[in-house]
Chain A
Amino acid sequence: MSDKNKNVEKKIARDIKYRALLEFKYSAGKHASYFFQQLRDNKKLMASKCPKCEKAYVPPRPACPECFEANSEWIEAGPQGTLVGFTVVEFPFLDPTTGKTKEVPYGYGFIILDGTATKFAHFLDETDLNKLEAGMRVEPIFEEERSGNFADIKYFRKIADSE
């Protein structure tokens, strides 16, 4: 094979680059809208409750996933809760919702808000693993200026007097 052919052979397969930039508008629906409205206006975390098994859910949703009953009731959840699982994310990754690399480290935890049956996934302000433990009591810290979305809760942190 001549050198020229070798070059052609080498570059025969190539990468074709493509950027997918998609924008969406998601209707929140009644349950999420009510939750975020209460969060924004009253700093309250509202859970939807099944009238049959009496489990309360955050995120709130129209139907009980266990009973398939309409969650016809609302209760005020937490806002305090118990941390049942946690991690500190140290590996930077592409966040497609911004197109940028996510800043690390950050704390991430599963919190059972008082009165609910579910673990609510949110940020933790703590990134020192020695200061995090399963079973720890935590509370949400709200943004001063709230616009009615997930980021109105800045993060959860350890309740000071529980030490």
Chain B
Amino acid sequence: MGRKVAIVGTGQTKHKARHSDMNIVELINQAVNRCLENAELTINDIDAILIGNMEHFEGINLSDMWASDASGALGRCGMKITTGGSTGTSLSSAAYYYTASGLFDTVLCVGWQKQNEGDTTAGLVSATDPIWERASFAGAFGTFGGAATQYMMETGLTPEDAAKVAVKNKRHGRLNPYAHLHLDISVDDVLRSPMLAYPIRMLDLCPASEGACAMIMTHEDNVKKVTDKPAWISASVCRHDSAFTGDPPFFLDLRTLRSAAKEAYATADIKDPMKDLDIIELYEPVTWAELSFLEALGIGEGGKVGELLAQGVTSIEGSLPVNLSGGVLCTNPIGATAMCRVAEAAIQIRGEGGERQANHKVNTALATGYGGNWWSDLLILKSSL
């Protein structure tokens, strides 16, 4: 199992459409410095720096190299990790593996993206197979649109059910000062927003953001010296799927997430996720994904997830709040997006959520990352192990 590891600090920039006053390395530096400040550590306490983004959004291929001054990697072990949307959770898992292995004591990971320096959909197209899929690929909304029609048919859930996810997460996002979108919207607003690709409308889809998020992890012998409110990593599971868009069963049964949850629940001793989890930070690139991904986690299966949402169970007042941060629907700097999920889970356990802090004590939090092609990362954090 390796050594026990805890998250002892988090830091993020304000996420927004455009950081025109900061370049890429300055953005990274701000998140790193805020993280060090939160952990009350200095860069000299850090043994390795893991960094990640998706290259074609900025057309930059060696961010680990040219951000080395600003990330603190100069003269240290540094490495870049890129796995698409799940980059931030892959970085989190990797930092955990580094620390748990005993080879590194204290590790900082930072995910970032300046999506509006390039073109989001063009960047996504470049991630697909050039011979088979680039000609017809229509960005996230095309793929999710096709998957959502299938999901609707099988579950009977409607665009109105999906719209309620947007309303909930945007409401949570208004309480998060770091969230990109602070929108006050209704179900009607979602259903009247421009159609991108049926049934995905503008307000069903995540924005394109610029921002960075960082976390510091250290091992059990060190934790007490650093903090009295660690967020321990209880389980960390990664699952890839095969290469082509149409291979996996996708939305109907996100098998990567279902399989990751099964293993993580066993490791973290989660018997009933509805009861044993206090909050969930879910990677929901579109409204529909929050519904179906919760089902894959064993919550509201068979389309019942729509009722849980309507009853407010997953709202901040509910028994199992989902995406108190506002989620991906409010904030999406892709290389940082999945790490924002893990960081928010740690923030909630550390009681640092401010206005968006859960009403009940958070002892067990689940965070996910989602990446193309239908693959999943999952981490479970606990206040004590």
- Do any beta carbons of A and B sit within 8 angstroms of each other in the complex? yes
Most chain B CB within 10 A, of A13, A32, A65, A119, is at: A119
Contacts of B22 in A (CB 8 A): 13
Contacts of A41 in B (CB 8 A): none
Q: Which residue of B lies closest to A109 (CB)?
A: B146
Contacts of A87 in B (CB 8 A): 138, 141-142, 145-146, 148-149, 197-200
Binds B, one of A42-50, A92-100, A137-145: A92-100
Is B134 among interface residues, defined by CB-CB distance under 8 A? yes
Q: Which residue of B lies closest to A60 (CB)?
A: B132
Q: Which residue of B lies closest to A28 (CB)?
A: B131
Q: A26-B131, A59-B132, A96-B125 are in contact. Are A88 and B198 (CB under 8 A)?
A: yes
Q: Which residue of A lies closest to B120 (CB)?
A: A93
Binds A, one of B78-86, B243-251, B315-323: B243-251
Contact B122 A94 (CB under 8 A): yes
Query: What's the Cα separation between A97 and B198 when bound, in Å?
Result: 24
Mark interface residues in A66-79 (1 if CB within 8 Å of B CB, else 0): 00000000000000
Mark interface residues in B123-141 (1 if CB within 8 Å of A CB, else 0): 1011001111111111101
Q: Which residue of B lies closest to A91 (CB)?
A: B196
Q: Using a Cβ cutoff of 8 Å, how many contacts connect chains A and B?
A: 123
Contacts of A96 in B (CB 8 A): 56, 119, 122-123, 125-126
Query: What's the Cα separation between A55 and B134 when bound, in Å?
Result: 25
**B198-256 with Cβ < 8 A to chain A:** 198-200, 242-247, 250
A contact residues, total (Cβ < 8 Å): 43
Contact A134 B149 (CB under 8 A): yes
Contact B247 A118 (CB under 8 A): yes
Contact B146 A110 (CB under 8 A): yes
Distance (whole angstroms) from the CB of A154 to the closest CB of chain B: 12
Contacts of A118 in B (CB 8 A): 244, 246-247
Contact B146 A65 (CB under 8 A): no
Contacts of A123 in B (CB 8 A): 136
Contact B197 A84 (CB under 8 A): no
Contact A110 B198 (CB under 8 A): no
B contact residues, total (Cβ < 8 Å): 45
Q: Which residue of A lies closest to B119 (CB)?
A: A94
Is A122 among interface residues, defined by CB-CB distance under 8 A? yes
Mark interface residues in B293-307 (1 if CB within 8 Å of A CB, else 0): 000000000000000
Query: What's the Cα separation between A6 and B188 when bound, in Å?
Result: 44
Contact B122 A93 (CB under 8 A): yes
Distance (whole angstroms) from the CB of A150 to the closest CB of chain B: 5
Contact A134 B153 (CB under 8 A): yes
Query: What's the Cα separation between A94 and B94 when bound, in Å?
Result: 34
Contacts of B243 in A (CB 8 A): 61, 65
**B149-175 with Cβ < 8 A to chain A:** 149-150, 153
Distance (whole angstroms) from the CB of B191 to the closest CB of chain A: 15
Is A86 among interface residues, defined by CB-CB distance under 8 A? yes
Contact A89 B125 (CB under 8 A): no
Is B121 among interface residues, defined by CB-CB distance under 8 A? yes
Query: What's the Cα separation between A129 and B198 when bound, in Å?
Result: 8
Q: Which residue of A lies closest to B245 (CB)?
A: A121
Is A34 among interface residues, defined by CB-CB distance under 8 A? no
Is B102 among interface residues, defined by CB-CB distance under 8 A? no
Query: What's the Cα separation between A77 and B20 when bound, in Å?
Result: 52
Contacts of B126 in A (CB 8 A): 96
Q: Which residue of A lies closest to B152 (CB)?
A: A134
Distance (whole angstroms) from the CB of B259 to the closest CB of chain A: 13
- List chain B positions with a Cβ less than 8 A from chain A: 20-22, 56, 59, 119, 121-123, 125-126, 129-139, 141-142, 145-150, 153, 194-200, 242-247, 250
Which 7 residue pairs spanning A and B have beta carbons closest together?
A87-B145, A119-B246, A65-B242, A85-B150, A85-B146, A96-B122, A91-B196
Could you give 17 example pairs across A and B, Cβ below 8 Å? Answer: A15-B20, A28-B131, A65-B243, A85-B146, A85-B150, A87-B149, A89-B141, A90-B195, A90-B198, A91-B194, A94-B121, A94-B122, A102-B138, A119-B247, A121-B137, A134-B149, A150-B132
- List chain A positions with a Cβ less than 8 A from chain B: 13, 15, 18, 20, 24, 26, 28, 32, 57, 59, 61, 65, 84-91, 93-97, 102, 106, 108-111, 118-123, 129, 134-135, 149-151
Q: A85-B147, A120-B246 are known contacts; what are 20 more A-B pairs with Cβ within 8 Å?
A: A13-B22, A18-B59, A59-B129, A65-B242, A84-B150, A87-B141, A87-B198, A89-B145, A89-B197, A90-B194, A91-B197, A96-B123, A97-B134, A108-B197, A110-B146, A110-B245, A111-B246, A119-B246, A122-B136, A150-B132
